[in-house]
A and B are shown apart, each in its own frame.
Chain A
Amino acid sequence: MQPRVKAARSARLAYARSVRPYAAVTHARMPCLAVAILALGMVAGCESSGPETTVGVGGACGSVAACAPDADLTQTDNASCQPLVDDYVPGSATDGWDACISDDGLYHPFDPNISSVARVGAFEEIATLLGFGQSKVPCPQDFLDARVAYSTAEGVESRVSRREDEHYPAAPAACNAMTPAELAQYPERCVGPAQIQPLLNEAFQQGIDGIDPVRNAARIEAGLLWFFYLSSYKEAITCTTTPADCDSCYAYYTGGEPETAGLGLSRYLRDRSAQAHGRVWDGILAVRCWRDLDNPTGAATNPALRDLATAQLDRALLRGVALIVRQRVQTLPCDQAWETVQILAKVLDREAEARDPTVAAVLRTELAAPNGQAGVTVSAVVDALDSLFPCP
C-alpha cells in the first residue's frame, strides 16, 4: 500500500529534497545558498519547498459487492468446432505446414527476456487490487496502488498510449505523433490513445476519488483485456520485421507462462473454455512456426504464411473475447458484468459486422438498450455471440 500526499501544484514541483515516504511537512531544509553566502539571493531560482499537507484516503470501502461475476465459471466449449484445413496444428503431419520449431507444442522464444511479461504481471497485480471478477469493492487506495502499477515506466500505460489496432488501415501518421484532435479522426486505428486510454484514465481517476468503485474496476478490467487482445495480435503482425515481437505476442497472451498456467488474458480464456484457450495457444505457435520457416533472423518474406498464422490467432482470440462477453452477460444484472459487456462487445463489433451485419446489428441494439442492462435480453445476446463467433 502506498500512502498518498495531496499537495498544491506549486509545492509539488519540489517534493524534492526532503521527501520521506509516509511523512510530509513544510520544510525549507536548505535555504538558497547564495543568500547565505554572498547575499546573491536576488537571483531567482532558489530550490522550491516541499509539500504542505498529507491526507489519508477517505471513503468507505472494503465491503462486499452484490455479486461476483466470475463466481460460477463454467467451461463453454463447442464440440463441433475443428481447426480449419490450413490451420497450424502443433505436431500434426497433415496440417499442410512444414515441420517447425513449434511442433513440440511449446513456445520457443527468440529471446528469453520478454519485457511484455512485466506488463501482464502488472495486470495481475491490478486484478488482485481491484478484485476483477470478484465481489470486492475496492478502496480508493486500491485504485491508487493499481494506478501506480499501471503507470510504471515502460509499463502498461506506456503501451496503451501508443497501441494501434492493426485490423484497421494505417493512419496518415503514426498515432504516437498525433495531437488529440488528430487522434479523434482515427479512433479505430489509434485505439490505444483515442479510446482505451481515456477509458482507463477516467476509471482510475474516479476510483481514486471514491466514485462508483465497482463499475470503475470493471471498466479497468475490460479496458486492459481489450488492450491485451489487441497487443497480442499487433505483435504477431509486427513480428514480420521484428522477430522478437513474436515473443511479445506470446507474452501478452500468456504472461510468459506455459499453456496450462497462463496469466492475464489467457487465464480468462482458460477459465471459460479450454478449447478456445487451446486454439489461441495453437495460433501463437502458428505465428512462431511461420517465423521459424520464414527467415527467422531477419524480415519475413512470406506474407501468405503470415496471414494464415495471424488469421488463425485472431479468430481464436475473438472467440475468446466473445466468450468473456457471453459469460458476463449471463451474470447480469451484476454491475461489473454490464461494464465488461459494453466495452468488450465493441471490440467484437468490427469482426461481427464483417461476418454477419444482421446479427451484428442485433448485438449492437441489445447492448444499446435505452434503459441499460435492465433492457438487455440476455438470450439474444448469447445467441448473437454464438452465431457470430461459434468457433475459435
Chain B
Amino acid sequence: MAYDAPGNADKLDKTVLAEWNKLIAREYRSQQARFGSRFFSIDPTKLRSPVGAAIQWFADPAEPAFCISSEQARVLSDWGVRGRQVLHNEYCEYAVIFGMDPNGKFRPKRVEITTELREYWLCVATHAPAKLRQMVQKTLGFKPSWEDLYGGDPATLSRAQREAAFSRLVAGTPEAAPTGRLNTEHALFMTHAINGLDDLVYIVIFGARPYARKKGNGIEPISKEELFRKFGVEHLACRHADPAAAMGAAGAAFEGRAVAFANPLGVYIVSFAEGAFSIKGKPIPKKWIRWGRGQAGMYQRLVFGPSDADKEFLDDIVVSVGAKDLPVTGGFQVLQQIEVGPRVLAGATSPVRKDELVVIAANRSAIKCGEADICNQIKELKREHTIQLKTRRTRPRVVGPIG
C-alpha cells in the first residue's frame, strides 16, 4: 500500500509520491530493526477490523511549563523564531504575524499554526520544484521567489543541491534552523528537529509492544514512567507527544492489537476549542479561523485571527481560562486549545504469547520533570530573553533643544 500526501492536501505525481513512500519505508525499516514486533504494521490495510486509536495530545509546549512555569512557557514560546526553534516540539509550531495599529504600535495580528512534516516538504522540494512553489503560494498567499526557496534557479541545481539549499533556507536541518524568511516569518511547516517523521515513527513503533509488569500471578499494563525509565529516556515521560504516542500504541499491543498509521500519514489538528475565544463578549467571526493543508478531519494548518483587512488585532480577542478572560498575546494560548496527533488505527485483538510480553519491573517512583537536562537549556533561553528585554528597555538618547 502507498501512503497519499499528508491530509490529501496535494495532488502529487507518482514519482514524488513514490519518493515520499520511500522515506516512510526507510524510517520504518530503521525503527523496525530495533523495536519492531507484530504489533506494528507499516500497512494499515493489513489490520483486521481497524478502529481509530486515540493518540492525541495538547499542542502547547510542555517542557518550559514543567521546567519553569506555565506563564514563562507562554512568554518564551511566543518569543518569535527563537522560541519556536527551541520550544515548539510537540508536533505543532506557529509564527505570529504582526501589524501596526493606528497608533503606530506593532501588535500581534494572527497566528499561523502548522503540524506539517518537514520531510514531506523536503521531498517535494527535492523532486518537484514547480509543485513546491505552487504549494507555498497556496499556503502563504504569495508567490515565493526561487531565491527564497533555493537561493537561485532550481533548474541549475542537482537534486542533492536542491535538498541542501531548501534545507538551509526553509526546512532547516537537525543541526541548524532555517535561515530564510519563508519559514521563519511564517509557519510554513514544522522545522524543529524533534517534530520529524523519524521521531514520529520511532515513538509509535517503540510503544507498540506488549509491555507489562507483574501483578500477583498475572500481569498488568505498565505506567508511562516505568516505560520511559526502563529505556533511559525518563524526560520523555514529561512531554505531551511522546507519552501519548507510545502509551497509546503500548495499550493496543497489550490487548493484542496491532497498530498502523492510517493513510495518509501525517500529524493533524484533532480538535480546537474555538468556543474558548471571544471578542467583546461575542464569538469570534468564522472568517478568523482558517483551516488549510488538508481535508476536513485532517487539517494540518490553522490561521487564527484577523486578516490584514480587519481593523482588529489578535490581542483584541480574549481566551477564557477558568473564570478569567485573558487577551491573546501570541500563539501559545491558541495551542493550549488545540489537540494534535497522527491518525493511528488499531486492529482486532489477538492472544498475546508469553514470549511476546516485555515484562518490566514495577517502579512507582515519580519522575522529577523539573530536573530534566532540557531544563538547563530552557533556563538559559529564559536568561537570553531577560537580557534582550533589558536591552530593549534602554531608551535611545534624545537630542532636542536645551531649555
Does A pair with B? no
Give B contacts to A, CB under 8 Å.
none
Give A contacts to B, CB under 8 Å.
none
